[in-house]
Every structure is written in structure tokens, then in C-alpha cells.
């Protein structure tokens, strides 16, 4: 049976087997993504003028230096990954074409100050130890081992030539338990051989394990010339599409703030998150998030189309329907075109 169809029929199986989750007021709080996961384009809450954090002048200096480092990272990634970017001549190359395929961003001054405030960081040395002042993302047409291995070997080559200095490698597997472990392993991001090449080049042993959300990707932390940490994410296009939508829901639920154009969405779906807590359905929602990532992860490669509309796994009937990722994506699209 195809893995994707297993997930699409997952909730129907639960209905038939009478295994729907029961209300549980003692359910743990959701932990969707790790605290240092790079956010691309959702936006952060405006920092209070009275907040105790790094100075505006220091934030400006950090951002200026980070811009220099970001240009260097973009140059290196383009140089070593160019042969693997899809084009008219090479449509089956693993990386999506254009800016969607390889992107680099730095935190804004407000975003940086908001990031360090809860940690009590007030010095430049402290800022340099923040995990994602600079973020880069490599988006693939699919997450197959063959596709990911090409990228891992290219990055290993960049390390050997001194173009990148890696300090940490994390591989997030899909959450195990939904299907047979052997099937999860067949879906793994990159083969053992590919990861070994990266480890041997960098001298860093990668950490491998599932995320509570089921989020599948590879995160590589590098040290820049100016001493900052930058995070390179490797994921496939279907996972990125879902992550963009899921990130918005995560920020709304955690009160992290969203950009102005998504304020109406925040007002619309926040009561649905409150309903989750009232009815003890947090774990059931986390199952939906995990199953959605697994479905996205198992979607076969297809010809890249920037205008395509991604369809996500439909939310089960026993959860608030406004938390369906298809609904949220539609609302995001409506706001983006206004």
C-alpha cells in the first residue's frame, strides 16, 4: 500500500476501530517546533519600547554584520549547489528553481531584539550564540534519499574546501508510530552514506531523532566569518508549504505575534485553539500536525510549479474545523492578495 494513502485513510481507520482520542485535561502543552527553528516570512510581534534587551545601536550593528555573512552564505550555496537546481535544460534536478529553491534571510532589528529578550541577552557575545541570526533554506522537489544525498555531498565538498564551517547537524525524522518503522526508514532524509560524508567532512556527529510535530528536515548550523550562527534547512517543497501554514498557527497559539496582514486570521482561529485546551484535545491536534507532515513528506516528486495550490491533509471531524491547514492556507492566500 502506498504510504500516502495510509495517512489519507488514517482517521477513517481510527473511526472504524473506535480509537478516537478521549478528552484529557492533563494533556501536555503542544511542542510543535524547536525554539530555534528559523522562521521565513511570518513576522514577529512588535517589541515594547520599555523591554530590557540589547540596544538599538547594537541590533543595527549585528544586522549589518549579518548581512555581510548572509551574502557570503548565499554565494557559497549557489556555487556548490548550482548543478542541482532545476531548469529548462535540467528539469529533474532536485532543487526547486529560482528563489524558492535557495533562499537566505537575516533577522530584522526588531526580530533580533525580541529573540534575545526572554533569554536576558544584552551583549554582542550573547547574540553570537543565538542559533538563527541568519537562516538559509534549500527546498527540494522531493525528499528522497537520492535527492538529499546530492545536496549532502555538495555541502560536504564545500566544507572540504573551507567554504563552510559546520558546528551542528540535526536530522528530524518523521514521528514514528504511525506506520511500520521500516517504511519510515525508507522515507528517511538522506542515506546513512550521505550523512557520513557530511560528518567526515565536518568532524561533527549528526543528531537523529523524531520531532513531536513530525516535522521532517535536516538543519545544519554553521559559524560565519563574523562569528554568528547560521542555520541551513533542507526540506522538500511539500513540507515547506505545510511549514509556512503550520508556523502561523503555532505563532498564534503561543502568542508570538504575526505580521499585520495576518491579524484577521489570528482573530479568526485563536478561539479554536482555546477550544482545544478546554476540551483536552491538544494531543489529538498534535496527531493531526504530525500526520500532515508525514503526508507531505511522502508526496512523490513532481514538476515544480510556483503557482500550484498545495492540498493538505483534511482535519478530522472531532477537532475545530478552522484549524484545518487547508482553511488557514486559503485565508493566508486571501490576505496576501489584498
Q: Note the pLDDT of residue 26.
A: 36
CA atoms within 13 A on the CB side of 117: 19
Alpha carbons 329 and 335: distance in angstroms, whole number: 10
Say whether pLDDT at 307 is over 90.
Answer: no
Cα dist from 21 to 12, 67, 283, 300, 314, whole Å: 13, 48, 8, 30, 17
The set of cell numbers assigned to 98 is 529560482
Say whether pLDDT at 16 is over 90.
Answer: no
Say whether pLDDT at 318 is over 80.
Answer: yes
Say whether pLDDT at 77 is over 90.
Answer: yes
Alpha carbons 203 and 218: distance in angstroms, whole number: 17
Helices (H) and strands (E) in the chain, counts: 13, 6
Cα dist from 185 to 25, 149, 209, whole Å: 34, 15, 12
Say whether pLDDT at 268 is over 90.
Answer: yes
Q: Which of 89-98, 113-122, 192-201 has the lowest mean pLDDT?
A: 113-122
Check residue 321 and report its DSSP letter: G
Q: Which of 166-175, 199-208, 271-280 has the lowest mean pLDDT?
A: 166-175
Check residue 33 and report its DSSP letter: S
What band does 175 get if pLDDT is binned at 50, 70 and 90? low
Rounded to two decimals, the pTM is 0.79
Average confidence (pLDDT) over 14-24 = 42
- 124-138 pLDDT per residue, tens: 777 777 767 899 999
What band does 145 get if pLDDT is binned at 50, 70 and 90? confident
- Computed over every residue of the chain, the mean pLDDT equals 79
Q: Which of 49-53, 151-155, 169-173 has the lowest mean pLDDT?
A: 49-53
Average confidence (pLDDT) over 305-325 = 88
What band does 264 get if pLDDT is binned at 50, 70 and 90? very high
Alpha carbons 91 and 78: distance in angstroms, whole number: 17
Q: Note the pLDDT of residue 338.
A: 72
Q: Note the pLDDT of residue 74.
A: 96
Alpha carbons 299 and 292: distance in angstroms, whole number: 11
Say whether pLDDT at 32 is over 50.
Answer: no
Q: Note the pLDDT of residue 22.
A: 43
The closest alpha carbon to 249, from 176, 322, 183, 189, belongs to 322
- 206-252 pLDDT per residue, tens: 887 777 777 888 999 999 998 888 999 999 899 999 999 999 999 89
Please give the helix or strand (H or E) that residue 104 lies within, else none: strand 102-106
Alpha carbons 102 and 66: distance in angstroms, whole number: 18
Q: Note the pLDDT of residue 186.
A: 52
Q: Name, of 60-74, 142-156, 243-257, 313-327, the range with top average pLDDT.
A: 313-327
Q: Which residues contact 47 (CB under 8 A, 6 or more apart)?
A: 53, 110, 113, 114, 117
Average confidence (pLDDT) over 43-68 = 70
Q: In the chain, pLDDT over 70 holds for what percent of residues?
A: 76
Chain-centre distance of CA 101, in angstroms? 14
> Which residue ranges does the chain devote to CATH 3.30.460.10?
56-236
Average confidence (pLDDT) over 15-34 = 38
Alpha carbons 136 and 233: distance in angstroms, whole number: 6
Alpha carbons 29 and 157: distance in angstroms, whole number: 41
70, exposed or middle or buried, with CB in 10 Å at 0-12, 13-18, 19+? buried
Cα dist from 230 to 50, 152, 320, whole Å: 29, 17, 37
Instruction: Give the 3-state secondary structure of residue 210.
Output: strand
What band does 295 get if pLDDT is binned at 50, 70 and 90? confident
Cα dist from 160 to 3, 73, 153, 195, whole Å: 37, 15, 10, 15
Q: Note the pLDDT of residue 50.
A: 47
Task: For domain 56-236, say whether CATH 3.10.20.90 is its number.
Answer: no
Q: Which of 121-130, 191-200, 287-296, 318-327 has the lowest mean pLDDT?
A: 121-130
Amino acid at each position: 500500500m502506498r504510504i500516502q494513502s495510509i495517512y489519507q485513510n488514517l482517521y477513517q481507520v481510527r473511526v472504524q476501530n473506535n480509537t478516537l482520542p478521549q478528552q484529557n485535561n492533563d494533556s501536555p502543552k503542544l511542542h510543535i517546533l524547536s525554539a530555534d527553528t528559523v522562521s521565513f516570512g511570518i513576522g514577529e510581534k512588535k517589541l515594547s519600547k520599555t523591554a530590557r534587551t540589547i540596544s538599538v545601536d547594537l541590533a543595527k550593528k549585528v544586522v549589518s554584520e549579518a548581512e555581510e555573512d548572509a551574502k557570503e552564505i548565499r554565494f557559497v550555496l549557489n556555487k556548490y549547489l548550482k548543478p542541482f537546481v532545476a531548469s529548462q535544460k535540467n528539469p529533474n534536478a532536485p532543487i526547486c528553481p529560482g528563489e524558492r529553491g535557495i533562499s537566505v534571510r537575516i533577522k530584522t532589528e526588531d526580530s533580533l531584539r525580541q529573540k534575545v529578550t526572554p533569554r536576558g541577552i544584552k551583549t554582542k557575545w550573547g547574540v553570537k550564540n543565538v542559533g538563527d541570526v541568519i537562516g538559509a533554506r534549500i527546498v527540494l522537489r522531493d525528499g528522497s534519499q537520492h535527492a538529499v544525498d546530492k545536496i549532502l555531498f555538495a555541502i560536504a565538498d564545500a566544507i572540504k574546501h573551507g567554504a563552510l564551517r559546520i558546528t551542528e547537524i540535526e536530522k528530524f525524522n518523521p514521528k514514528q508510530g504511525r506506520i511500520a518503522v521500516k517504511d519510515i526508514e525508507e522515507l528517511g532524509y538522506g542515506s546513512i552514506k550521505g550523512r557520513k560524508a557530511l560528518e567526515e567532512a565536518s568532524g561533527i556527529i549528526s543528531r537523529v531523532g523524531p520531532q513531536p510535530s513530525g516535522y521532517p528536515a535536516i538543519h545544519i548550523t554553521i559559524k560565519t566569518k563574523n562569528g554568528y550562527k547560521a542555520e541551513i534547512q533542507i526540506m522538500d517543497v511539500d513540507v515547506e508549504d505545510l511549514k509556512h501554514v503550520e508556523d502561523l498557527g503555532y505563532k498564534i497559539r503561543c502568542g508570538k505575534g504575526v505580521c499585520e496582514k495576518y491579524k484577521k486570521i489570528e482573530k479568526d482561529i485563536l478561539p479554536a485553539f482555546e477550544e482545544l485546551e478546554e476540551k483536552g484535545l491538544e494531543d489529538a491536534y498534535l496527531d493531526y500536525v504530525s500526520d500532515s507532515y508525514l503526508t507531505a513528506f511522502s508526496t512523490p516528486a513532481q514538476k515544480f510549479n510556483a503557482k500550484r495550490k498545495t492540498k493538505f491533509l483534511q482535519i478530522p471531524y472531532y477537532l475545530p474545523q478552522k484549524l484545518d491547514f487547508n482553511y488557514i492556507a486559503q485565508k493566508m492566500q486571501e490576505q496576501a492578495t489584498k
